[in-house]
Structure 1
Amino acid sequence: MDFIDVIKALAEKVSRMKETIQTEEATKTAFVMPFIAALGYDVFNPLEVIPEFIADLGIKKGEKVDYCIQKEGQPIIIVECKHWKEELNVHNSQLHRYFHVCSTRFGILTNGIIYRFYTDLEEPNKMDNKPFWEFDITDMSEAAIAELKKYQKKTFDVDQILSAATELKYTREIKKLLASEFNVPSEHFVRLFAKQIYSGPVTAKVMEQFTPMVKKSIQQHISDLISDRLKSALSNETEAAKKEQEQALENVVAATEAVKVEFTEIEQEGYYIIKSILRVKIDAARLSYRDTTRYLNILLDDTIRKTVCRLHLNGTKKYIGLMDEEGKETRFEIENIDDIYRYTDQLLKTVMRFEGKVEPQEI
């Protein structure tokens, strides 16, 4: 099972079972241990995942962190767990103390649903007060799952994670500030726009006038962005539906014309001549035909949109139909089947056009 599927399965389990989990120990067993196992660590190997890891604090002995994950005998992550109903904010200082005495760069505070990741970006060996990353396992995006993969046993790299942690930390804070400003614009934020638009002094009255306008402009801009995204998505869906309809129509036409159609001996000969001509440029296996009551279609990649030519060979007069760039057919009369070779250059150019290649002109 892929990592993304493992995490989604755990998320479904957490959502389904949480109301039955009554204790902190049950939260660890049902939610947190499977999470650690999902990262590839053996939760039953005390050399890899140490439960109740001793983190003595000076004269205060017997302090223990719930789990210490080790790699090659060295602590890499400490995990402090709480009951799933508990608010994590009140337990931040506890993990902070453990982090100070453990030789690890990463700490996780979790209630089995919310996971907060900490490190020491601001001051070496001292855990930052704010997490650099946080997620709800029951509501994870694919991008978040991809970020979580960095903590897997097989890919864990301190330098790589620290580099990502810096960006995660500050983008998270910037997003929070933007959300706050968009919801209730601060005086500084409003003044930033007013000074660039209003020609006179930015007085208290001007600020009072601009504040609701800034908020309204932001909301309208976000609405426009969403609208543009929706239009683009609908356009793509419309184009996909159009292609499906075209293909369905092709299939109906092919099925209809297949009734009472005979792939005659002269058509077979013409088809093999076309394959012989074009195999110098493409794999002959990419060519196919669709026989109709009126002509034989020679196709590239079995699609009517890549019709190489048409052979009209079953009537009194015989023709080869060549296709221009717009798919329009021009017929040329041939006296016998070997006359097809006279149109070698045109056939090759048609195929090269489908391949997106232009043959060099002779000098």
Structure 2
Amino acid sequence: MATLSEQISALARKIESTKDGIETEEATKNAFIMPFISNVLGYDVFDPAEVVPEFTADVALKRGEKVDYAIFHDGSIQLLIECKPIGSPLDLRHAGQLFRYFSVTSARIAILTNGQEYQVFTDSELPNRMDEKPFLVFDLLDLDRSLLPEIQKLSKDAFDLDSVINAAQELKYVGGIRRLIADEVKEPSDDWVRYFVSRIYDGKATQRVLDQFRPLVAKALGQYVGAQVNDRLKAALGDDANAENDASVAARQQTKIETEPLVEADTPSPDIVTTDEEIDGFNIVRAIAVAEVPPERVSFRDGKAYFAVLLDDNNRKPVIRLHLNGQNVKFVSTFERGKDAPTRHDIESVVDIYRVSDQIRQTIRSHLT
């Protein structure tokens, strides 16, 4: 039987490959949301004792209003789900049904979704009144794997309402802080830059000074995050990974890659030297890739023209190409569905590879379909 992670990965691949052809809310429900309820959460969508579509309850002044799905567990309503079309922004102004139904049913969990993004709410602030902010937010195409245990708690076999409610307050604030940090790492705000400037710069923090320090703060934060990810990845992979890297470096130094697509040379080339910077770049790519595949499936081949990262050591499954040996210019090339040629992205350091994380993960998912 497939695990929760495997079911989510399979659904994510389906969303990625078919979402452009889905235009309505009803199609979104059938293609993405019902499979999530059935395959990920484990409820029988064809059993009215478990899942009731278009659920109606008597709501004052709103009689006959429906919520898209009501999910029953142990004979009572536990989850309410309101759906929007794929690609639509999730705005609570358009989810009045959830607020109203939350107060007149036994449900303690409400979900707002467009089939790709899920926002999960409870009543942590006032009893029987749905919070205005979700305690759990996740995107199936960019899933934080640390949230899998929280999603698991909503499933039929592992449903644990008390655990969900108890963890909701902490999850809401920790998740909010993490999203703020992510935004600041991508594009530091004036307040964030001013915090660092005030501690390392003796002059006045004018707007000109803030603008000068902004890219430096972004670079420092990116380097720090990259170092933390690499350290965790190395620790997780252990000595086997180090041995694999050493063997790979020795082997790839004998490989010549010069043309498109990747072609292995017939004879070894002693001119190819795999640098520490290329290995750092490879580790960053692999750290990004572990959201989709086990790290051992990601390998590299070094050549004169570029350093290639591959899935399953298959030159027909390129993940990204690193061009790091130029004296003045460094860039990476990503592969996007529907484009014949790779897309170039100029970078200043290997840490900037994190800026193309979405492209890397999407490319890997395309190789898995």
TM-score tier, shorter chain, comes to 0.5 to 0.7
Secondary structure (helix, strand or coil) at the match of 1:138 reads coil
Match of 1:185 in 2: 189
Confirm whether residue 124 of structure 1 aligns to residue 116 of structure 2: no
- Aligned counterpart, 1:71: 73
1:149 to 142, 147, 152: 152
Q: Specify whether residues 88 and 191 from structure 1 end up closer, same or farther in structure 2 by C-alpha distance, changes over 3 A only.
A: closer
1:95 is the counterpart of 2:74: no
**C-alpha separation between the residues in 2 aligned to 1:141 and 1:198?**
36
Which of 11-20 and 130-139 deviates more? 11-20
Question: Structure 2 CA distance, aligned partners of 1:155 and 1:144?
Answer: 15
Alpha-carbon distance in 2 for matches of 1:158, 1:100: 17
Q: Which amino acid aligns with 1:156?
A: F
Match of 1:61 in 2: 63
3-state DSSP of counterpart to 1:139: coil
* Matched residue type, 1:76: Q
Query: Residues of 2 paired with 1:7 and 1:60: CA distance?
Result: 36
Measured against aligned partners, the alpha-carbon deviations of 1:192-250 in whole angstroms (never above 9, x if no partner) come to 55555567xx8565x764674376245314314414654774995333455899xxxxx
Q: 1:60 to 1:10 in 2, by over 3 A?
A: same
1:268-287 → structure 2 map (5 Å cutoff): none
> In 1, distance between residues paired with 2:221 and 2:27?
47
- Identify which of structures 1 and 2 has the higher relative contact order when contacts are C-alpha pairs closer than 8 Å and 6+ apart: 2
Q: How far, CA to CA, are the matches of 2:211 and 2:218 in structure 1?
A: 11
Contact 1:65 1:78 in 2 (8 A): yes
Q: Name the amino acid aligned to 2:162.
A: D
Identity across the alignment (%): 41
2:213 is matched with which residue?
A: 213
Give 1:302's aligned residue: none
1:163 and 1:194 map into 2 onto residues whose CA distance is 39
The equivalent residue for 1:112 is: 115
The structure richer in helix per residue is 1
Q: Distance in 1 between matches of 2:188 and 2:115?
A: 33
The residue number in structure 1 matching 2:38 is 37
Q: How well do the aligned residues superpose, as a CA RMSD in angstroms?
A: 3.2
Secondary structure of the residue that 2:157 maps to in structure 1?
Answer: coil
Q: Determine whether 1:226 maps to 2:231.
A: no
Aligned counterpart, 1:238: 242
Q: Is the 8 A contact 2:12 2:140 kept in 1?
A: yes
d(CA) in 1 for partners of 2:95, 2:161:
22
Structure 2 distance, partners of 1:181, 1:14, is 29
SS in 2 for 1:159: helix
3-state secondary structure, aligned to 1:60: coil
> Counterpart of 2:30 in 1: which secondary structure?
helix
Counterpart of 1:168, as a letter, is L
CA, structure 1 residues 244+209, in 2 after alignment: closer, same or farther (shift >3 Å)?
closer
| One-letter code aligned to 1:32 | I
Tell me if the contact between 2:55 and 2:69 (Cα under 8 Å) persists in the aligned partners: yes
Rounded to whole Å, the distance in 2 between the matches of 1:174 and 1:13 is 31
The code of the aligned residue for 2:24 comes to T
- Relative to 1, partners in 2 of residues 1:235 and 1:216: Cα closer, same or farther, differing over 3 Å? farther
Opposite residue 77 of structure 1, the aligned amino acid is L
SS at match of 2:67: strand
**2-side partners of 1:174 and 1:66: how far apart?**
31
CA–CA distance in structure 1, aligned partners of residues 229 and 23 of structure 2: 44
Q: Assess if the C-alpha contact under 8 Å between 1:185 and 1:215 holds in 2.
A: no
Seen in structure 2, the aligned counterparts of structure 1 residues 136 and 56 have a Cα distance that, compared at 3 Å, is same
Q: State how 1:43-54 maps to structure 2 within 5 Å.
A: 43-54=45-56
SS in structure 2 at match of 1:108: strand
Alpha-carbon distance between aligned partners in 2 of 1:193 and 1:140, rounded to the nearest angstrom: 30
Do the aligned partners of residues 16 and 224 (structure 1) sit closer, same or farther apart at CA in structure 2, a change above 3 Å counting? closer
Please list every run of 5 or more consecutive structure 2 residues that lacks an aligned counterpart in the other structure.
250-369
- Structure 1, 142-151 or 189-198: larger mean CA deviation: 189-198
1:162 aligns with 2:165: yes
- TM-superposed CA distance for 1:86, in Å, is 2.5
AA aligned opposite 1:220: A
Aligned partner of residue 58 in structure 1, secondary structure: coil
Question: Which residue is equivalent to 1:267?
Answer: none
Partner of 2:6: 5
Q: How many residues are treated as equivalent by the alignment? A: 242
Distance 1:139 1:192 in 2: 30
Is this contact kept in 2: 1:185–1:211, CA < 8 A? no
How many Å separate the matches in 2 of 1:228 and 1:44?
46
Counterparts of 1:229 and 1:181, CA distance in 2:
18
Question: Which one is further off, 84-93 or 34-43?
Answer: 84-93
Q: Which amino acid aligns with 1:113?
A: Q
CA–CA distance in structure 2, aligned partners of residues 192 and 85 of structure 1: 36
Bigger radius of gyration, 1 or 2? 1
